[in-house]
Amino acid sequence: MSKTVELHMNLNGEDVRVDIEPADTLAEVLRERLGLTGTKIGCGEGMCGACTVLVDGTPVNSCIYAALKAAGRHVQTVEGLSQDGKLHRLQRAFLEQGAVQCGYCTPGLLLTAAALLRDNPHPTEPEIRAAISGNLCRCTGYTKIVAAIQAASRSGPRSGS
C-alpha cells in the first residue's frame, strides 16, 4: 500500500480535502474518492476526452492528470455546471438538439464547450470543431453536438446560467 497524502482543491466552488495516493489521477479521485461519477473514463489514456474537466478554467484530460497537480486550484466537473437545480444553457441545448446518444462523451464535451464559450462567446463552426477536436463521440457524429454549442452560444449566458 502506498502512503496517502492530503489533496486540497476547490471543486465546483467548494473547498475540499481528500486523502489520496500520490500517483492517483484526478479522474480517479473525482470518481472513486469523491463519488462524482459524472466524469467518465473512456480510453483511460488521454485519447478520447471523455474525462475532460476544467482546471483553473482550462480543459484537461483528468485520466492522465496527476491529482496533486490540482492542489490549490479550481476544478470544475459536469456536476458543477447546473446552478440551483437549473441546467446550464449548454446542457439544455444538448438535450434540445438531440446531441446526446449514449451520453458517455457528453460531460467532457459540455466542459470543453463551456471553456470555449467563456473565451469566445460566439464561435464559428470551424472554431467549435477545433475546440472539440479532443473529444471523441462514437455515436452521433458531431453535427448535433456542433448545433447544440451554436444554439447555446446564441442563447447567451444570461438565459439560464
Partner 1 sequence: MLPEDYVTPSTVEEALATLASHRGRARIIAGGSDLILQLRRGERAVGCLVDISRIPGLDEIKLQDSHVVIGAMATHARIERSRLVRERAPALADACSRIGSPQIRNVGTLAGNVVNAQPAADGSIALLALDAEAEIANLTGRQWVPVSSLFVSPGVSRVDASAELVIAFRVRAQAPREASAFERLARRKALALPLINVAARVLLDADGSRIREARLAIGPVAPTPFRTRQAEDFLAGQPAERETIEEAAEMAIRECKPRSSLLRAGKEYRLELIRVLSRRALIRAIETARGDEHVQDR
Binding site for partner 1 (CB under 8 A): 2-3, 5, 21-23, 25, 45-49, 52, 58-61, 64-66, 68-69, 71, 112, 130-131, 133-136
Residue 39 CB contacts under 8 Å (≥ 6 apart), including other chains: 27, 30, 31, 51, 53, 62, 77, 78, 107, 108
Q: How far is the CB of 102 from partner 1 (least distance, A)?
A: 19
Q: For partner 1, which is the closer residue by CB, 24 or 152?
A: 24
Q: For partner 1, which is the closer residue by CB, 58 or 85?
A: 58
Q: For partner 1, which is the closer residue by CB, 21 or 79?
A: 21
Cell numbers found for residue 106: 457528453
Q: How far is the CB of 152 from partner 1 (least distance, A)?
A: 18
Q: How far apart are CA 118 and CA 133, in angstroms?
A: 17
Q: How far apart are CA 103 and CA 53, in angstroms?
A: 16
